[in-house]
Amino acid sequence: MDAISKPALAFESPLTRRSIIAAYFLVIFLALPLWWKTTSIERQGLPASRVSAQIGRDLVFPVRIALNTGPHELGMDRIVLDVQRQIEKNGDFEQNGLQLHVSNAATANDYQVTLRLGTWDPVIKGREVVLEILPEHVGIAAMQVADILVTLLMPYTSLWSSQAERIVSYSPRYRLAFTLLNEDATGDNAALSWDVRGALSAQLSPLLARLSVLHNFTIESQVQYHGPLAFEPHALQVAEKTEYGLTPEDLTVFVNSAQWTLSSSVSNDPVLHFIAFIPSSRHSPLRILDSDGSPTPSSAFILPQWGGIVIYNPESTGVAHTLAGRPLDAIFATFRQQLSALLGVPELPPHVQVRSNELAGVTDWQLDALVRRRAAENTASAQETLQSIVRLVAQIEDMPVGEDVKGDVENALAALDQTYSTASSSQFQVLAFASKAQSIASRAFFNPGMLALLYFPAEHKWAVYAPLFASVAAPLLASVIREAIVWRREKKAKAAVAPAADDRGHKAG
């Protein structure tokens, strides 16, 4: 009955059979590393602890204020102490990452506050503000100094949310697209061309040069001759004349993106559009209405984060061939204001006067505040992006993380560290590092390599493997088990039969 008891065939031996089976397993064993290498996902370890250490880390700008009371009798030592105390009482400075030191010795890059007796409004000259104090207010001079420092150093705390929301997010380069848009150039009032070069160099170049520490600008312009509105403006009777009005709701849908060719397709830089809109004679004059439906004196409006629009009603009817001179200067002056509002240049308090006009209307105080704001914004956004990457990678186990992503994350962290370490020396360098950190972090976040296996989950892999490997593995395993059983039985039989082995051998012989 037993297979063992039967004599084996000459060409067969258990050794050969077992080595054949072993060879199969050897091949599988040798192929395992290859299989592992070709199917595993590259996941570099991200410096998660360093990223989480960034939480709660804030930029702190040390700001030195030199108080200068001149030869006057305001009492220098006392007022310095008073101002310092007032500032410490006001928690806003600390919250906004400003560390103020007030002293009476001026160095080169400090902000200077000059106190004087007098009745004039505060005057700004470079990084200096001249504050005149009424003789009867000498007692609260320290409070006045602290107040003016709040409005000049932290102009953003007083912004309404709608003003803050219209500021475009930071980009090292913007495209500024200026469009002269005629609603219908075949009608009576239209401008067929404009002196855009002259207006740009007169009105905008100084501002752009001033802001060049923050952004680069690419400028382009076009003229459109047919830009119909997507809606019909309301007709109004004003002083026996028909005028046309745009309600606040109309303004939100004013841009007819289907028919106005405004989009640009060649680059990823954000575009800010500035449109000078000339209504057709059918809709002329076109006014902006307030919420009550009565015309406002304003003829321009900002679309948050998109651009600005100026509605120009030509004074004389008839086709003006070229728009130039004073009307165009007025339009571009509005564009300049809209651009500085969109880029987040803070406004000065209305009572503060500016001494010199050569700074394109942006004082050093404003520019510094903007640079600090952009630096803080970029730092926060870089931190947030890095944390999102780490969270995402931890959440999705199949997500590949390549060497380049890891390198980007590390570089972004290094740039962030540099941001913090230079905060005490130079604001412009802080901005440079912060924007570098931000751009590298978002490059890491949008790395296309991280998407690769998102659509090829592990389940799919097993579904493909199972039909082949399951059916191949079954006979392999079965043979191993069978051989093991046979081998054990053989061993047992050998042990039992060993004493009688000699007799049997003789019999067989």
Residues that bind another protein (CB under 8 A): 3, 6-9, 12, 17, 20-21, 24, 172, 177, 184-186, 190, 192-198, 200-201, 205, 208-209, 212-226, 228, 259, 261, 263-267, 319, 463-464, 467-468, 471-472, 475-476, 479
In angstroms, give the least distance from the CB of 301 to another protein. Answer: 23
Instruction: Kindly give the residue spans of alpha helices, DSSP state H, lying in 255-342.
Output: 325-342
From residue 341, give the alpha-carbon distance in Å to each of 113, 274, 289, 485. Answer: 27, 13, 22, 86
In angstroms, give the least distance from the CB of 259 to another protein. Answer: 8
Cβ-based nearer residue to another protein, 66 or 343: 343
Token pair listed for 300: 């321009």
In angstroms, give the least distance from the CB of 20 to another protein. Answer: 5
In angstroms, give the least distance from the CB of 134 to another protein. Answer: 43
User: What are the backbone angles phi and psi of residue 280, rounded to the nearest 5°?
Assistant: -70, 165
CA distance 224 to 52: 52
Cβ-based nearer residue to another protein, 66 or 190: 190
Contacts of the segment 368-372: beta carbons below 8 A, 24+ positions apart: 368/127, 368/427, 369/152, 369/153, 369/154, 369/155, 369/156, 370/214, 370/343, 370/344, 370/345, 370/346, 371/213, 371/214, 371/427, 371/428, 371/430, 371/431, 372/61, 372/97, 372/98, 372/427, 372/430
Angle between helices 427-445 and 403-422 (to 10 degrees): 160
Cβ-based nearer residue to another protein, 8 or 238: 8
Token pair listed for 375: 């630096």
Burial of residue 287, with CB atoms counted within 10 A of its CB: 0-12 exposed, 13-18 middle, 19 or more buried: buried
In angstroms, give the least distance from the CB of 426 to another protein. Answer: 14
Cβ-based nearer residue to another protein, 217 or 445: 217
Token pair listed for 367: 């520019």
Cβ-based nearer residue to another protein, 105 or 468: 468
In angstroms, give the least distance from the CB of 333 to another protein. Answer: 18
Token pair listed for 432: 């440079």
Place of tokens 């200026």: 178
Q: Which amino acid is at 78?
A: R
In angstroms, give the least distance from the CB of 454 to another protein. Answer: 19
Cβ-based nearer residue to another protein, 24 or 156: 24
In angstroms, give the least distance from the CB of 30 to another protein. Answer: 17
CA distance 176 to 343: 12
Cβ-based nearer residue to another protein, 53 or 478: 478
Token pair listed for 461: 């892999």
DSSP state of 120: P
Cβ-based nearer residue to another protein, 83 or 309: 309
CB 132 within 8 A of CB 119: yes
In angstroms, give the least distance from the CB of 137 to another protein. Answer: 43
Contact residues for 290 (Cβ-Cβ < 8 A; gap 6+): 248, 296
Cβ-based nearer residue to another protein, 228 or 248: 228
In angstroms, give the least distance from the CB of 42 to another protein. Answer: 23
Cβ-based nearer residue to another protein, 219 or 354: 219
Cβ-based nearer residue to another protein, 219 or 453: 219
In angstroms, give the least distance from the CB of 475 to another protein. Answer: 5
In angstroms, give the least distance from the CB of 266 to another protein. Answer: 4
CB 429 within 8 A of CB 415: no
Contact residues for 390 (Cβ-Cβ < 8 A; gap 6+): 46, 48, 51, 52
Cβ-based nearer residue to another protein, 2 or 240: 2
> Which of 252, 309, 228 minimizes the C-alpha distance to 276?
309
